[in-house]
Amino acid sequence: MDTQKRLHENISALADGELADSERELALAALDTAEGQAAWRAYHLTGDVLRDQASGALSDGFGASLAARLAAEPAYVPAAPERAADPAEPDPAESPADVILP
C-alpha cells in the first residue's frame, strides 16, 4: 500500500478515535507536516458536514460574486446531434418541408 495513503488512513482513523495504539506514533508524526495537518482539517470538516454541524456562513459578498461570475460565463448552446450519413436516407435539409400523401 502507498505510504501516503496509509498515513491518510491513519489520520482519518485517529480523527474518528479508531486508530490502533500501534499506529498512533506514526499518525502523530504525520500531523507535524503541512500535508498531515491539512488532512486532519479535511477529515474533521468532512465529519462535521456528515453530522450536519458545519458552519454554513458564507463570506460577505459571496452571493454577489458568484452571480457576477455566472453572468460572465458564456451561454450554453447544445451541439446539434450528428447524424450518420446513410446514402439511402434523404437529408432532411434537402427534403421538401410539406409532403402531400395520396
Does residue 84 fall inside a structural domain? Answer: no
DSSP state for residue 31 in the 8-state scheme:
T
**Is 68 a domain residue?**
no
* Total number of domains in the chain: 1
Q: Specify if 89 maps to a domain.
A: no
In a domain, 36, yes or no: yes
Q: What is the pLDDT of residue 51?
A: 80
Per-residue confidence in pLDDT tens, the chain, 102 aa: 588 888 889 999 998 899 999 999 989 999 999 999 999 999 888 888 888 766 667 778 888 898 999 999 998 888 887 766 666 666 655 555 555 655
Q: What is the pTM of this model?
A: 0.48
Say how far apart CA 39 and CA 47 lie, in whole Å.
Answer: 12
CB 12 within 8 A of CB 40: no
pLDDT of residue 20: 92
Amino acid at 94: E
The answer to whether residue 5 sits within a structural domain is yes
Identify the helix (H) or strand (E) that includes residue 24. Answer: helix 21-30
- 14-17: which pairs have CB atoms within 8 A and are 24 or more residues apart? 15/40, 15/43, 15/44, 15/47, 16/43, 16/47
Residue 97 lies in a domain: no
Does the residue 8 lie in any domain?
A: yes
Q: Determine the structural domain holding residue 15 and report its residue range.
A: 1-54
Within a domain: 28:
yes
